[in-house]
């Protein structure tokens, strides 16, 4: 099968949509399918190149927000003609959209006219973008409504729509006239598991062998609320000794480092920066608990990787995180912004090794239903369904009489 994946964010962008698209392309190619990706190029020109052994059609683009390096705006002129060229050259059996912004809506318009089967997956939450706007909450709310309206206007033209969880699906179902199916983003259980040995990382970062580690992995951007994790950890550290490991990079890294210094916990907090694909699975195995305070997750790959590594998770009770984290089962949930409760939950986890072990085992049981193999299998079924539907639709159109008949 020839699969064309269309994404407004792709390698080397660091975010959930980019990672999902990269993994989907890689695993589909490994299954023997011919895969190509359409995404913004890193230049003011169209490109055609291989990235990690995947063919990528790059569309001329510019960076639009300094704070959001992953968001690039494709050059508006001739974008539809570029989509036509790509479709003419690659001739896909199915097109898989990963959003509704410029490249995806241009591809949708051209592909529908030419009669290609189309599937779309939603990774979008307006809060992840409007969080950066220096506007009153009421205005932000109106902007969010407008962005959801624009999303629905595009996705209502797609016959097959997916999103990572039922919680995420229920967010967009009231906006759409199309059926929405939840398909997990999937996690590689062969790569992320307890067999990985990360003791060399403890030595590298000078962490005592028996000292508990609270771990955060992800972008260091405002909407992730890592500052809340640091503040709550500082409170918990007054009662229990542990290390907070912050893995990742982003626009907020300098302000977060200043916060750590101001709170006087520099000896117990360390920033690793971006971690290599080789080291990341091992790092999960030296941690004792994972934490996520972002209220805008539609699933969260890092949480899934932590669970596959048999870690309990402390997470905000918002977005789709409660889909993975069951309070007092495989982790603890806290109300968004409640630093005192978060500090208490961190303390409880750090002092109770038995609790961490029991919850970690439950995490692994839960995440086994989210293997990447199951995700790939379900998308193949969706692609086949879309192709079959498209053939039937074309047959029906053939038999619709024109006015001249």
- Domains annotated for the chain, with CATH where assigned, are 2-186+372-394 (3.40.50.2000), 199-369 (3.40.50.2000)
Pairing of strands 269-273, 243-247: parallel
pLDDT at site 15: 86
Buried b / exposed e along 105-121 (16+ C-beta atoms within 10 A): bbbbebbeeeebbbbbb
β-bridge mates for residue 48, sequence order = 57
Phi and psi of 94, rounded to 5°? -150, 150
Cα–Cα dist 299/16, whole Å: 9
Contact 75, 59 (CB under 8 A): yes
How many residues are recorded in the chain? Answer: 405
Count of beta carbons in the 10 Å neighbourhood of residue 38: 29
Residue where the block lists tokens 């020109």: 45
Write out the chain's pLDDT in tens, 405 residues. Answer: 999 999 999 998 888 899 999 999 999 999 999 999 999 998 889 999 999 999 999 999 887 665 555 567 787 778 999 999 999 999 999 999 999 999 999 999 999 999 999 999 999 999 888 877 778 889 999 999 999 999 999 999 999 999 999 999 999 999 999 999 999 999 999 999 999 999 999 999 988 888 999 999 999 999 999 999 999 999 999 999 999 999 999 999 999 999 999 999 999 999 999 999 899 999 999 999 999 999 999 999 999 999 999 999 999 999 999 999 999 999 999 999 999 999 999 999 999 999 999 999 999 999 999 999 999 999 999 999 999 998 876 655 454 444 444
DSSP, residue by residue, 134-159: -S-HHHHHHHHHHHHHHHHHHHTT-S
Residue where the block lists tokens 């792709």: 10
At CA 233, angle to CA 193 and CA 362, rounded to 5? Answer: 30
Residue where the block lists tokens 């694909």: 277
Cα–Cα dist 51/345, whole Å: 42
pTM: 0.91
CA-based end-to-end distance of the chain = 37
């Amino acid at each position: 099968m020839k699969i064309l994946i269309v994404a407004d964010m792709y390698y080397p962008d660091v975010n959930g949509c980019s990672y999902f698209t990269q993994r989907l392309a890689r695993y589909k190619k490994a299954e023997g399918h011919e895969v190509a990706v359409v995404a913004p190029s890193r230049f003011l020109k169209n490109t055609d190149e291989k990235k990690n052994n995947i063919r990528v059609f790059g569309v001329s683009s510019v960076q639009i927000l300094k704070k959001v390096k992953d968001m690039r705006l494709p050059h508006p002129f001739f974008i539809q003609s570029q989509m036509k060229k790509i479709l003419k050259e690659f001739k896909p059996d199915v097109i898989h959209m990963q959003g509704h912004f410029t490249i995806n809506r241009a591809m949708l318009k051209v592909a529908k006219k030419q009669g290609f089967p189309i599937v779309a997956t939603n990774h979008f939450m307006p809060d992840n973008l409007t969080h950066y706007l220096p506007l009153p909450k009421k205005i932000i709310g109106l902007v969010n409504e407008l962005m959801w309206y624009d999303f629905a206007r595009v996705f209502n033209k797609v016959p097959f729509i997916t999103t990572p969880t039922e919680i995420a699906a229920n967010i967009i179902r009231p906006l759409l006239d199309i059926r929405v199916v939840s398909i997990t983003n999937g996690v590689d259980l062969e790569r992320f598991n307890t067999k990985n040995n990360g003791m060399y990382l403890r030595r590298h970062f000078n962490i005592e062998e028996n000292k508990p580690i609270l771990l955060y992995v992800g972008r260091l951007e405002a909407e992730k609320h890592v500052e809340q994790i640091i503040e709550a950890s500082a409170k918990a550290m007054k009662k229990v000794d542990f290390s907070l490991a912050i893995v990742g990079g982003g626009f907020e890294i300098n302000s977060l480092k200043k916060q750590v210094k101001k709170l006087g916990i520099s000896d117990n907090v360390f920033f690793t920066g971006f971690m290599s694909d080789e080291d990341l699975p091992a790092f999960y195995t030296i941690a004792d608990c994972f934490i996520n305070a972002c209220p805008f997750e539609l699933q969260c790959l890092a949480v899934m990787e932590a669970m596959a590594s048999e870690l309990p998770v402390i997470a905000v009770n918002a977005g789709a995180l409660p889909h993975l984290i069951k309070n007092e089962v495989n982790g603890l949930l806290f109300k968004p912004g409640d630093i005192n409760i978060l500090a208490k939950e961190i303390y409880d986890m750090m002092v109770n090794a038995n609790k961490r072990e029991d919850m970690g085992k439950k995490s692994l049981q839960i995440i086994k239903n989210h293997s990447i193999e199951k995700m790939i299998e379900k998308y193949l079924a969706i692609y086949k369904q879309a192709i079959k539907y498209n053939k039937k639709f074309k047959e029906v159109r053939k038999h619709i009489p024109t006015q001249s008949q």
